[in-house]
Amino acid sequence: MRAGVAIVAAAVAAVAAPVAAQPRLVTVHGVAYDSLRGAPLEGAIVSLVGSGRTTVADRRGRFEIDSVAPGPHTFTMNHDAVDSLGLAGVSSRVEVTDGRAEVRLAIPAFAAFWARGCARAAPRDSILVYGAVRDPASLAPVAGAKVEIAWLDLS
């Protein structure tokens, strides 16, 4: 009888151990932001990579995704404003803990774009123009294309 009780106790412990080891799921809160305009990014589509779960940021750029296990996760953000900059999306790798920390996804500021293409700091009155020249039929990049840009400066 004692052996039977020990076997039952061991079986209960084996079944209960995985349940106790499961992490407590949390709700992740965050904000989607447009650093170029200095404004929240309403309507941004935010995804938890690898989960198939998405949500949409409200008018204040706020979003939440519930039932997230603590640990490292990557969040991505897409929006027309991100697409118009030629970016495939904005992402951030975050260590989710108790759900209290806020996930911040932001379109990079002008200085970050400038630093990627220019060796010196941007002059105060600078703008940044970028793009790609493509063959209209195949959409393949055109090597060695010459581009001229002109604008009118109204002071």
Q: 96 pLDDT band (50/70/90 cuts)?
A: very high
The answer, yes or no, to whether residue 61 has pLDDT greater than 90, is yes
The answer, yes or no, to whether residue 11 has pLDDT greater than 60, is no
Q: Name the token pair of 12.
A: 């209960």
* 3-state SS, residue 84: helix
Residues 6+ apart with CB under 8 A from 60: 31, 40, 42
Q: 68 pLDDT band (50/70/90 cuts)?
A: very high
Q: 127 pLDDT band (50/70/90 cuts)?
A: confident
How far apart, in whole angstroms, are the C-alpha atoms of residue 155 and residue 149?
Answer: 19
Mean pLDDT (whole number) for 83-105: 89
Q: Name the token pair of 105.
A: 């996804």
Residue percentage of the chain with pLDDT more than 70: 85
How big is the CA angle at 81 (ends 43 and 36), to the nearest 5 degrees? 110
Q: What is the pTM of this model?
A: 0.68
DSSP-derived letter for residue 134 is: B
Q: Phi first, then psi: what are they for 77, rounded to 5°?
A: -130, 135
Q: 124 pLDDT band (50/70/90 cuts)?
A: confident
